[in-house]
Structure 1
Amino acid sequence: MYSAEINRRQPALLLLAIDRSFSMAEPWAETGQSKAQALALAVNNLLGNAVLLCSRGDEQVHDYFEVGVLGYGAKVGGALYGTDESRLIVPVGHIAENPLRVDTVTRRVPDGAGGVISEQQYLPVWVDPVADGATPMVAAFTAIEPVVESWCAAHPSSFPPIVINVTDGMSTDGDPRDVVARIRKLATDDGPALIFNLHLSGVQGQQVRLPNSAAALSDPNAALLYELSSELPPAMLEAAAAMGYPVQSGARGFLYNADATTVIDFLDIGTRSVTPTGLAELTAGDSSHTEPLDPDDENDTNG
């Protein structure tokens, strides 16, 4: 399981569910930003990197996977520009062509001679920060369930869908166990859908990262999020270990009291579920191609 090859006929699905409740307006520890602002930046960076990594060094973006971002707060629906309740997920090529806007930012970068210079860079934006309403987690997963179900039916040979829920609080509309259990039973031929949960913290506190037991979780809400989380597939365990996380067999895709750096790390680790060798290696080796790839080549992610 969790070893299906990723190509344009067998794309993978990455679906983010992001908390947009009132409390996301609170500061996110050392970032100098609100949780909503820092999370939106992390998601936009992830989407931008995904576009670059699927471009194979040319101007064409190849649809190796599909992406969706669902926001839940005062409203539950598509948070990714160009999506809504009727179309929550889109191919990565659509993302490349349809940013909400492109911001210009000034960053200080090394000049190659021991100094630094100011350089203007362009930053595509697909998701804006929002902090409004309660935390309707049951409604969020209920909206996700038919999307995952129909996607699995349409892509039976693909790597299973990956759902990453990012929240800073507890569900305000009931217990999400039943709907999450149903989603985790949905599967492709390569295995059941994966659900991971990230709890954000605005204060300094002890983090629990990728545990294989709920023993260290005294907070009932944390224990619930742990219960809702899938075990990490082998490729993700390896990716986490390579990044210095002391993971053990049975570790789940769950973070508690996560700071900004850890969330960004986990989003990178999470993308490594998309392919056994990691999203960062989807295009590895392809720069040596000197002739166009066959558009019907089912093995085009192997270089």
Structure 2
Amino acid sequence: MASERVAYVNGEIVPESQASISIHDRGFLQGYSVFDTTRTFNHKIFKLDEHLHRFYNSLKYARLDPGMDISQMAQITMQVLETNLPLINNDDDYWVTQRVSRGISGPDGEMPTVIVESVPLPFAARAKYYKDGMPVVIPSVRRTPPEVLSPRAKIQNYANLVQAEFEVKDKNPDGWPILLDMNGNLCEGPGSNFFIVKNGAVVTPREQFVLAGISRATTIELAQELGIETREEDIDLYDAYTADESFVTSTSFCICPVSSINGSLVGDSKTVPGPVTSRLLAAYSGLVGIDIQGQYLSRL
């Protein structure tokens, strides 16, 4: 058994301590790279095909060629994951990430950098959100508009989101940023989509203005299977403040209840998660074969 995790870097699977890229890599020099991330449940990868399909759409948008097709990327992903699985406990799971940058220019033209890696999910650090709910804080930093860069492509340049996170953490160290778009509507946060529940309906911003999250799509599908009305529409601050419930979705969280927005309690936040969020979280747990909330709460 390996003593440390491995990663795939430009054709080789190497120990992470030996993984390196050029100082001239344009992913570093220009912030120009694309990535996608899925996770495991009970050590089994979830919706890899969907994540890789989105990844390759992002690559096409960014005009990056990884030099391999989706099936090869899937094989490498599974090889890295299976090598690293023995290094975590039975009740732990991994984030699994693929990255492609512009790499360096060589005599033969473009030489993209291709990386596949896995890191343990931060259950202990995020368990508090499942116990008390997530305090959402809306920063002054606005989300990069789609006229500048499409949010539907998963671009590695997170400067916009990181600046928002810095601002939020200064106000509330536990706060989670959800950014407004240029029209003043709530859109998304770092690696996360935003939802509200109003009069029994689940509402989320339109896909044109946010990353089309796999967890977002899964949640919408589950809601429809449960007979819960779903809508994609603009959500302004009034909608958020008067919502009955709210939650975020992401690869790691799946579904995580929101307790407050800018300090204003969401609905009856004495009960977190609320009834609709609880139904969706239970359905998601049934889909992946693990108690999602319980996996986090067990780390408290």
TM-score range, shorter chain: under 0.3
In the superposition, the TM-score normalised over structure 2's length comes to 0.27
In the superposition, the TM-score normalised over structure 1's length comes to 0.26
